Amino acid sequence: MRLSKYLAHSGVASRRKSEEIIGSGRVRVHGQVVTDPAHGVEIGDDIRLDGHAVEPEGREVWMVNKPIDVISTADEPGKRAAVVDLVDSPARLYPVGRLDADSTGLMLLSNDGELANRLTHPRYGVSKTYRVKTRNDIGDGDLQQLRDGVVLDDGRSFPADVRRLGTDSFDITIGEGRNRQVRRMVEAVGNEVVELQRISFGSLRLGRLGIGKARLLDEAEVARLWKDARDG
């Protein structure tokens, strides 16, 4: 197994980030510094990162219903809670992508760096659906603009699937993951988001999972996420 893959599967980081870590000389195999991510290793080898043993752990993927004002990071240096605090697991879990502190809904946490990278990489365009409530009523023309794509400061957004729910609410599905993208798209048509909830990530639906609750995904659900990441 490639050393970078071993680190990723051990929950250290994504495959790409693991390659950077190895290249910086922080990893030793049987006491020797290794800087080649392709270096072959086996389960049972003495592999250490910054002097600490790296051992493979069972891969876990959790779904969390993130409350408002919870931070989408593994660690929060301030007073606000981090999303990883919502999961009762000894595994080294990391958020798969981000969700704004003022947004709620479906987040994934995992120690599988390769899956996390696939699900968030722009190349694969894994879809995410958000339920949006706006400050003012939103017209059909505005919704059509969102479907067609709007001009943002970092380029035009890709076409989106939009379904009206009410005079000031709709669901929008996008395959991009730009910073605060849905909020900026709504601002581009002259309105403002007052509530934003992610209700799906690829084939996974939030369903009835309570706010602040988490559950471990089963093998079939994880397999579908891998398919989402392959198919885009």
Catalytic residue numbers read 100
What's 10's DSSP letter? T
Identify each DSSP E strand in the chain by its residue range: 27-29, 32-33, 47-49, 52-53, 61-66, 94-96, 104-110, 128-134, 151-152, 155-156, 161-166, 169-174, 193-201, 204-205, 214-216
> In degrees rounded to 5, what are phi and psi of residue 86?
-85, -5
- Amino acid found at 60: E
Contact by Cβ (8 Å): 182, 132: yes
Nearest to 87 by CA among 209, 210, 214: 214
Which pair of structure tokens corresponds to residue 10? 């051990």
Nearest to 88 by CA among 223, 221, 213, 219: 213
Cite the DSSP H helix spans in 10-97.
Answer: 15-23
Nearest to 129 by CA among 67, 185, 175, 60: 175
